[in-house]
Amino acid sequence: MLRSLLFLGVIGCSERAEPVVPAAPLACSDAGGHSDVASVVAAAVAFRSTLTDEQRAKLDLPFTREVATMWSNLPVGLVPRRGVRLGDLDGAQTKRARALIAAATSSCGRKLVNELRLADDLIAPLDRDPQMHMDWGAGNYFIAFLGAPSASAPWELQFGGHHISLNLTFNGHLPSATPMFFGAEPVKFTTPDGKAHAPMQRQSMAMGALANALAVHPDAHLSGTFTDVVKGVVIIREEGKPPSGGYDTGYPFAWDTTDRGMLVGKLAPDEQKLVREAIESYASLPGDALSYPLIATYEMALGETYVGVAGGNDLAKSGMYVRIDGPRIWMEFIVQDGVAFPDIPHYHALWRDKLADYGGELK
């Protein structure tokens, strides 16, 4: 079973990523959750009610800067997470956990979470470096409540593990679904049931199409080289100690005001449409109660928003980088060197909001 899974995975992901094909992103169906406070709180309370006292002690965390910034995109073996581990849940608890994620995300968001966990299961057998255990695997994803789930008081639902970090804040100063990180390795694969998966197809296609359009605009070309997202997690290395950190300790960031690329307003209408599609491909991952106001805010500010590209426009080549940088919006997409499959690049994506990260609750 393991061997067949691995063979299928290798076969599925040994193909190079498709070249950039500008295309309209897939729309999220209406079958997903809405991220509205009432349904997420109800699902959160229902999930919590199935847990033991010991599990609740792990689930319930304070909504403080120190705890909220402890998310990461790195494998759990390198950067431990807080919260309840999905792999430790029984059947009933798992069902409620799934219902919670479904309530908090759109159909696209839920599909992304599920496919990223499948991808991690696929690469788990490759976790064989004796000096550094990655602890890949679908079980190594964690749910935490920062603050008590409430219809009125601020609290955060944190879901994360390797290549995904959802930080959804409810009842904060501003509607907030950020910081949100997602990445995929492999970028496409086939599971033993014969189903093909491409977890970040919509986002990579949208960002790839945008990079393609920006290639002809010298003003949009960012200087320098990019090897990962810029406003992500930070690892601290101290003499004589093992590396630490790997969390969002850089928050709040100084947002650069130079070398931002090209104003969206200077693009042609069909190119501006690609910017909107790229924004929506990220911002529609939470349910519509969060995504609608955020998308509206970002699109109203398109005139003051910049887009930039570096490293070409080939989704199969490491270093390809696209950024959308507005008064509030900060979205990054990068094609990175492979880790589990070193010769096959993989994707990282980051969505931040300069005002509404963590609901604007952390000072």
Partner 1 sequence: MIRLVILVALTSVARAHPAPMTEVTITRGTPTILAMRLPASELAHVNVTTSDQVAAYLPRHITSNWELALGPVRSIVVDGHPYWETTVTVTGDGALVLYDDAITHEVRNHYIVMHDGSETRVLQYPQRLLIGSPRPLRRTWVRYAAVALGVLGVLWLWKRRH
Part of the chain binding partner 1 (CB under 8 A), chosen from 85-93, 138-146, 222-230, 277-285:
222-230
| 339 sits near partner 1 (criterion: CB under 8 A) | yes
Round to whole Å and give the CA distance between 89 and 101. 15
Q: Any contact of residue 228 with partner 1 (CB under 8 A)? A: yes
Q: How many beta carbons lie within 10 A of that of residue 133, not counting itself?
A: 13
Does 243 bind partner 1 (CB under 8 A)? Our answer is yes
Our finding on whether 8 is near partner 1 (CB under 8 A) is: no
- Is the backbone of residue 35 left (phi > 0), alpha (psi -120 to 50) or beta? left
- At its nearest, how many Å lie between partner 1 and the CB of residue 136? 9
Draw the binding track, 247-276, toward partner 1 (x: CB under 8 A; -: no contact): --xx---x-x-xx-----------------
Among 113, 134, 180, 356, binds partner 1 (CB under 8 A): 134
Rounded to 5 degrees, what angle do the CA atoms 148, 150, 154 make?
80
Q: Which of residues 31 and 132 has its CB atom nearest to partner 1 in the complex? A: 132
The four Cα atoms 279, 284, 285, 287 give a dihedral, to 10 degrees, of 150
Q: Write the CA distances from 321 to 1, 45, 137, 348, integer angstroms.
A: 37, 40, 27, 10
**Counting contacts by CB under 8 A, is residue 2 touching partner 1?**
no
Interaction between residue 329 and partner 1 (CB under 8 A) = no
Answer for which of 66, 153, 227, 300 binds partner 1 (CB under 8 A) is 227
Contact positions with partner 1 (CB under 8 A) in 58-87: 74-75, 78
Among 2, 4, 31, 129, binds partner 1 (CB under 8 A): 129
Within a 13 Å sphere around the CA of 2, how many CA atoms are in the beta-carbon half?
4
User: How many chain residues interact with partner 1 (CB under 8 A)?
Assistant: 42
**DSSP-derived pairing of the beta strands 164-170 and 180-184:** antiparallel
Q: Is residue 302 at the binding interface for partner 1, with CB under 8 A as the rule? A: no
Q: Which stretch binds partner 1 (CB under 8 A): 86-94, 99-107, 143-151, 225-233?
A: 225-233
Binding test (CB under 8 A) with partner 1, winner from 47, 226, 298, 333? 226
CB 17 within 8 A of CB 208: no
Residue 193 sits in the site that holds partner 1 (CB under 8 A): no
Q: Please, are residues 324 and 307 in contact by the beta-carbon 8 Å criterion?
A: yes
Residue carrying the six token digits 């393609």:
212
Q: Does 288 bind partner 1 (CB under 8 A)?
A: no
Q: Which range, of 18-26, 58-66, 106-114, 224-232, touches partner 1 by CB under 8 A?
A: 224-232
Which residue stretch of 140-148, 201-209, 212-220, 231-239 sits at the interface with partner 1 (rule: CB under 8 A)? 231-239
Residue 318 near partner 1 by CB under 8 A: no
Give me Rg for the CA atoms of the chain.
Answer: 19
Distance CA 219, CA 222 (A): 8
Which residue is listed with tokens 């930070």? 234
Contacts 24+ apart (CB under 8 A), 250-253: 251/69, 251/179, 251/357, 251/358, 251/362, 252/357, 252/362, 253/352
Does the footprint of partner 1 cover residue 232 (CB under 8 A)?
A: yes
What is the contact mask toward partner 1 in residues 87 to 106, using x (rule: CB under 8 A)? --------------------
Report whether 189 contacts 171 (CB < 8 A). no
Shortest approach of partner 1 to residue 260 CB, angstroms? Answer: 12
Which residues would be at the binding site for partner 1 (CB under 8 A)? 6-7, 10, 14, 74-75, 78, 125-129, 131-132, 134, 222, 224-230, 232, 234-239, 243, 246, 249-250, 254, 256, 258-259, 339-342
